[in-house]
A and B are shown apart, each in its own frame.
Chain A
Amino acid sequence: MTTTTAPRRATTDSAPRRKANTIRRSHHVFAYALIAPALALFAVAFVIPIVYSIGLSMFSREAGSGGAYAPKEDAFVGLGNYVSVLADPTFWASLQRLAIFAVIMVPLMMLTSIVLALLLDLPRVGARAFSRTAIFLPYGVPSVIAALMWGFLYVPEISPVYQLAGSIGLELPPLLRGDQIYTAIINVVLWGGIGFNAIIIYTALQSLPAERIDAARLDGCNEWAIARHVKLPHVLPATVLTALFSIIGALQIYSEPQMLSSLTTAIHSTFFPLMRVYRDAFAHDDLNSAAAASILLALATVLLSLLVLGLRTFTSRKANS
């Protein structure tokens, strides 16, 4: 990212320079005025909540003496809440489930998105505009509604998928039970996310100059070689961006399992980390522990994102050297 610097022309005369400085100062005032609402809202919605919850995470509310309605007393416990979150097996179990989910979901999401984008970009593909629109459509569907619709489609008595499989003698496993619940959740997330990612990568493909593809084709490259050596390197930045969004999205998975949990007993209240945070904050009324856990989760997300961005810089540097 480059920053624009206001043109600074060398002036020997002091009067114009003073004039230029005042103009620049009035520019500053205008620029600050433009950015002020964003900064104020950023403070209210990001900075202050984070600082406040870091503070909360270091206290513990002890029941005061004198009955259930006595005011609770805040006691400073330092990193005590973090220690107890990290010592809680349900926290690690929820992280483990999150890891299983993300390790399967993210690569599938990226692979499918890239393949669909490349297919849409092939010459002489039929029904291209229709396919593009249909693939993108789920992006407009709220994730809880997607989970609700798929939730019904997972019910064998109602589902056309089970009906179809049954009619050709195939018996599909029930997805809302046992470990198959991962398949159920991953499918909803993939259904809702692939379209957006595929279209982003496809849009990046569209900006590839036609001459580069024609040149490769004249050199005797087949479509596979063109995709591998011309198209993929070109869409790497867009792909990294969508991978980043997929990872961030995976770590904060909440809506889909929460919705599906009303149709199954396989998803309990501490299934994924954010669900556990919600339980602490609202079912257990333990905001301090919830604050500690959400800060740990935010830290992990930022670290992972930086890792992905770092890998990107590393690979592009390697490619350039």
Chain B
Amino acid sequence: MSRAFPARARQPRNVIATIVLLGAVVYFLLPIVWVLFSSTKTTGELFTTPAFSFGSGFFDNIVDLFQYQGGAFAVWLGNSFLYSIVGATLSTIVSAAAGYALALYDFPGKKAIMIGLLAGVLLPTITLAIPQYMLFAQWGLTNTYWAVLIPVSITPFGIYLAFVYAKASVPVELLEAGRVDGSSEFRTFSSIGLPLLLPGLVTIFLLQFIGVWNNFLLPYIMQSDADLAPITVAMYLMLNRGGSEPILYSIAIAGSAVAVIPVVAFVLLLQRFWRLDLISGSIK
């Protein structure tokens, strides 16, 4: 915390605020804690035992989950990682280059590009999914990894964030100095610009990773081949079938638990690396 109140440190805690916050904590943790407990239960125990108690079916659920449809779950998990890692990496590189160029260079057409990209921020990417599908189907790109990777590697918001961060953290004078020393533009970019941009790029990467991991509609529309589905689409298809087969409930719950764990761990682990002031517009 940036603010300290040494003189007031010994004053009593703000009890009401603390209680309200802890109430919110219970609400936000409830489904996650519930799904972790429930993943240990057999379908029967789900209906008969208290919600927050351990059941006896954890091992069976996990085995069932990974044997479901001949081991498809591992494929879906792998697809989610592939889309998230490759998509976030591509979009971070694209955003870094474009944001740097827009922030530090003056060139004809820059204003038009800025306006176009800003319009892209306002345009919901999901509304675009159907037009993208129509075009990609025409080009024969649907049912390939590219059908998801191409749309997620361009994020106007990522470019905007890179632009804001480059403006705030890369001094033009430093680049001028590099030029005077005779270093090429590319060298200036890679040895002076990029290291300064790095904290901002980590934030863009994390936002994109989570955005792609959580994406449902785009892969749902683009991929009719279940082997290319990420975990979100797979869980939907699984539950959709589970309506008629309640036995799948325990698999769906175990699947949710497994799908939630990596990203929750990711959020917890990397919370300290976020530069969220970038998004809140309070970057200094």
Instruction: State the A residues within 8 Å of B (CB).
Output: 1, 3-7, 23, 26-28, 30-32, 34-35, 37-39, 41-42, 44-46, 48-50, 52-53, 56, 116, 119-120, 122-128, 130-131, 133-146, 148-153, 157-161, 163, 191, 194-195, 199-201, 203-204, 206-207, 210, 213, 235, 237-238, 241, 248-249, 251-252, 254-255, 258-259, 262-263, 274, 277-278, 281-282, 287, 290-291, 294, 297-298, 301-302, 305-306
Using CB atoms, name the residue of chain A closest to B242.
Answer: A262
A125-B17, A130-B25, A160-B52 are known contacts. Are A148 and B252 too (CB-CB below 8 A)?
yes
Flag if A145 contacts B122 (CB, 8 Å): no
Flag if A160 contacts B94 (CB, 8 Å): no
Using CB atoms, name the residue of chain A closest to B284.
Answer: A207
Instruction: Point out the residues of chain A lying under 8 angstroms from B34, CB to CB.
Output: 149, 152-153, 160
Neighbour of A144 across the interface among B38, B47, B232, B266, CB < 8 A: B232
Prevailing SS type, chain A contact patch: helix
Instruction: Point out the residues of chain B lying under 8 angstroms from A131, CB to CB.
Output: 21-22, 24-25
- Distance in Å from the Cβ of A56 to the closest Cβ of chain B? 6
List which B122-162 residues lie within 8 A (CB) of chain A: 122-124, 126-128, 130-135, 138, 150-151, 153-154, 156, 159
- Distance in Å from the Cβ of B234 to the closest Cβ of chain A? 10
Residue from B32, B153, B242 whose CB has the most chain A CB atoms within 10 Å: B32
Residue from A141, A152, A200 whose CB has the most chain B CB atoms within 10 Å: A141
Prevailing SS type, chain B contact patch: helix
- Distance in Å from the Cβ of B46 to the closest Cβ of chain A? 6
Using CB atoms, name the residue of chain A closest to B281.
Answer: A237
Alpha-carbon separation in the docked complex, A262 to B22 (Å): 33
Flag if A148 contacts B154 (CB, 8 Å): no
Q: How many residues of B contact A (CB 8 A)?
A: 112
Flag if A200 contacts B276 (CB, 8 Å): yes
Flag if A41 contacts B150 (CB, 8 Å): yes
Flag if A45 contacts B151 (CB, 8 Å): yes
- At the interface, yes or no: B228 with Cβ under 8 Å from chain A? no
Flag if A139 contacts B267 (CB, 8 Å): yes
Using CB atoms, name the residue of chain A closest to B282.
Answer: A207
Flag if B130 contacts A278 (CB, 8 Å): yes
Alpha-carbon separation in the docked complex, A238 to B97 (Å): 26
